[in-house]
Chains A and B, each alone.
Chain A
Amino acid sequence: MRRIILPIILFLPLFFFLRDVAASDTGAVNATVTAQNVSISVTDGAIAYGTLATSGTKSTLASEANDQQVGLNNGNITETFNIVGSTSAGWTLGGTAGVNQYFHKFCLTACTSPANFTTAGTALTTNYQALVASVAAGASNPFNLQVGTPSSTTVYTSQSVNVTVQAVP
């Protein structure tokens, strides 16, 4: 790209007697870059199972708590959603119900009734396991949860049995 010298001349008088004025020209490289963003949100992000009998179960299916959860890829790349459960203050997370041991399962589309959790549901652990892979940026992925209370317990207070969903590239 050529530039005519005239604009430069406007600034020259101050330098008349100092030195030659070096002309110059510039070219640009227009570079764009976007930082990789891995982000997830879960809606509505809150489940109130209520009071259950020991060895009882309750899910988020429409027939029960009716509170299906949705994981949303809020990042700018395709993500894998992982999920992890947690031991509550009085109950230990396990694969099945036991003495002061509860279980918590997740299920994607296979669980259309509470009974389906027995075979299609996956028990949460305290380690991440894949919830769903290859969730496109902006895509959402619904999932249901089912909680199973201990077969017997000494703790009858309300327990926070939180679940965490993680997004990874």
Chain B
Amino acid sequence: MTENKANENWEPKIIAFVCNWCTYAGADLAGISRLQYPPNVRLVRLPCSGRVNPFYVVKALQEGADGVLVSGCHPGECHYITGNLSARRKFAMLKNFLSYVGIEPDRTLFTWISASEGEKFAEVVKGVTEKVKALGPAKKLVKKFE
């Protein structure tokens, strides 16, 4: 993995857990609008950001993701009324705890993107990819598959 960083061709793998009702549609809009954004992100569609088990984030990091993005509807706009509000609490604690044990805070990012924000989606993916690229390949908590 270390050699990979020296390798200029290294591209980060980013897993994005996105809400079906907003970010996923936002990503769709970005596609329809033919906006360019880095292809490093893999979307996992979920019914709500509240569906994101903190374990998904940790497990993604363990099994080889260099970065994790979680995105849902803006507070107050949840399809299920309060799903993203409980998610916000969970993520606030999770992000703090991850960085407390020594994992780079920029590897786990949380954001809100609505269905009409195709441009914001492209911007966020660009931003996340840049941040994770700056950190280099993940080394902590990564399981070695041999």
A and B from one complex: no
User: Which A residues are within 8 Å of any B CB, using their own CB?
Assistant: none
